[in-house]
Amino acid sequence: MFATRQISSIAKRAFSTSTSSNAAKVAVLGAAGGIGQPLSLLLKQSSLISHLSLYDIVNTPGVAADLSHINSNSKVSGHVPANDGLKEALTGCDIVVIPAGVPRKPGMTRDDLFNTNASIVRDLAVACAEHCPKAHILVIANPVNSTVPIVAEVFKKANVFDPKRLFGVTTLDVVRASRFVSEVKKVSTEDAKITVIGGHSGVTIVPLLSQSGHSFTEEEVKALTHRIQFGGDEVVKAKNGTGSATLSMAFAGARFTNSLLEATVAGKKNIVEPTFVQSDVFAKEGVEFFATNVELGPNGVEKIHPVGKVNAYEQGLIDAAVPELKGNIAKGKAFIKA
């Protein structure tokens, strides 16, 4: 249901309504990339955005010129590093979405991207802390389990950290889970709402199929769990060295950004999305960031939902996720502290 409803309502807004009076400035950093371009296209259709600000180290003037001909009401600007481009892109931003960074090739883990992407995300976070310290920051760049703590540490160093405004985008995991379960159970995706908790890599992705209202055989649970945890690898393998998920990620990133806009700009209530945030849910186990369903409100995180009832199999998945997550988070924090 979400997909159809979202696309038709976005399309309607684009062609029949004007931009909301308190609409937001939204920046996409990495906007010329595989995710950045389709994500920017989807965001261009939102009437809750007044200014779509596109930043990349290359090619954003062209992407911005192209998108700017679409007759929705938002302004589009393109920025590259020259002439204070990053400062221009970020100043006045309400939301910053960060898909900047390299994607995986076959045989790599998301953690293998750390060496390249950690410094990209750090430098962009430093600029956000300086030019738009109150913006909501949505991190897509992998490894999300480490890049989110990196942004947090940068913001803490600059004394501007607000944990309610920092999100790791894990929406693709629930989008995949919904699709895969709908295929197995032969139901509409509307009837396949799956909670996915934890983080965004391999065993840290924990689907809670027992909460879905469907019954599964043991074999189905194992196969679905594996497919949801390693769905990213399916795409990396199929793209055969040319990248990872871009189009489904753009869809998922737009879904999360639109939900945040609905909560912050449109003041809608009961907007719930899964996301990797600073959380108390597993704080006792030493896990500072964790993805669960989160209610979004005018200031970002409104309420972090608990994990809820899990069965023994899912408890085993959580037990496997916790140490891995702890390590990923510590690695991100140590990168900035060092």
Ligand X SMILES: O=C([O-])CC(=O)C(=O)O
Ligand Y SMILES: NC(=O)C1=CN([C@@H]2O[C@H](COP(=O)(O)OP(=O)(O)OC[C@H]3O[C@@H](n4cnc5c(N)ncnc54)[C@H](O)[C@@H]3O)[C@@H](O)[C@H]2O)C=CC1
Catalytic residues: 200
Helix or strand or coil: residue 302? strand
Length of the chain: 338
Q: Tell which residue, 143, 108, 111, 98, has the closest CA to residue 236.
A: 108
Which of these, 91, 95, 51, lies nearest to 75 by C-alpha position? 51
Selection from ligand Y, ligand X, none that 56 binds (CB < 5 to 8 A by kind) is ligand Y
How far, in whole angstroms, is CA 91 from its chain's centroid?
22
Q: Is 144 in the site for ligand Y (CB under 6 A)?
A: yes
Q: Determine, following the binding rule CB under 6 A, whether residue 122 of this chain makes contact with ligand X.
A: no
Cα–Cα–Cα angle for 122, 318, 283, nearest 5°? 55
What would the DSSP string read from start to end of 67-84?
HTTS-SS-EEEEE-STTT
State yes or no: residue 150 binds ligand X (CB under 6 A). Answer: no
Q: Which string of x and - marks every residue 198-237 that binds ligand X (by CB under 6 A)?
A: ----------------------------------x--xx-
C-alpha span between 332 and 336 (Å, rounded) = 7
* Cross-strand bridge partners of residue 168: 139, 276
Q: Which of 24, 100, 317, 321 binds ligand Y (CB under 6 A)?
A: 100
Contacts of 149 (CB under 8 A, 6+ apart): 288, 289, 329, 332, 333
Least CB distance to ligand Y at residue 172 (A): 4
Q: Which of 19, 24, 26, 30 binds ligand Y (CB under 6 A)?
A: 30
Work out whether 207 is an interface residue with ligand Y (CB under 6 A): no
Residue 151: Cβ-neighbour burial (10 angstroms; 0-12, 13-18, 19+): buried
Asked if residue 324 lies in contact with residue 283, where contact means CB atoms within 8 angstroms, the answer is no
Min dist. Cβ of residue 147 to ligand X (A): 11
- Does the annotation list 36 as a binding residue? yes
Count residues near ligand X (CB under 6 A). 10
CB of 67 to ligand X, least distance (A): 24
Distance in Å, CB of 319 to ligand Y, minimum = 23
Binding residues among 157-186 for ligand X as defined by CB under 6 A: 172
Told to check if 27 binds ligand Y by CB under 6 A, we report no
Please state the separation of Cα 189 from the chain's center in Å.
Answer: 20
Q: Is 122 labelled a binding residue?
A: no
| Nearest residue relative to ligand X (C-beta) | 232
CA atoms of 334 and 114, how far apart (whole Å)? 12
Contact positions with ligand X (CB under 6 A) in 238-257: 244-245
Q: Which residue has the tokens 């003037």?
A: 61
Task: For residue 78, give the nearest of 93, 90, 60 by alpha carbon.
Answer: 60
Q: Which does 236 bind (CB under 5 to 8 A by kind): ligand X, ligand Y, none?
A: ligand X
Q: What is the CA radius of gyration of the chain?
A: 19
Q: Which is nearer to ligand X, 78 or 199 (CB)?
A: 199
Which residue is associated with the tokens 């809750």? 48
Q: Judged by CB under 6 A, does residue 32 bind ligand Y? A: yes
In the bound complex, what is the minimum distance in angstroms from residue 72's beta carbon to ligand Y? Answer: 23
Per-residue binding string, ligand X, 59-98, x by CB under 6 A, is: ----------------------------------------
Contact flag: residue 102 with ligand Y (CB under 6 A): yes
Known binding-site residues for NAD(+) equal 30-36, 56, 117, 140-142, 249
Q: Tell me which residues touch ligand X (CB under 6 A).
A: 103-104, 110, 142, 172, 232, 235-236, 244-245
Q: Tell me which residues touch ligand Y (CB under 6 A).
A: 29-30, 32-36, 55-58, 99-104, 113, 117, 120, 124, 140-142, 144, 169, 172, 200, 243-246, 249
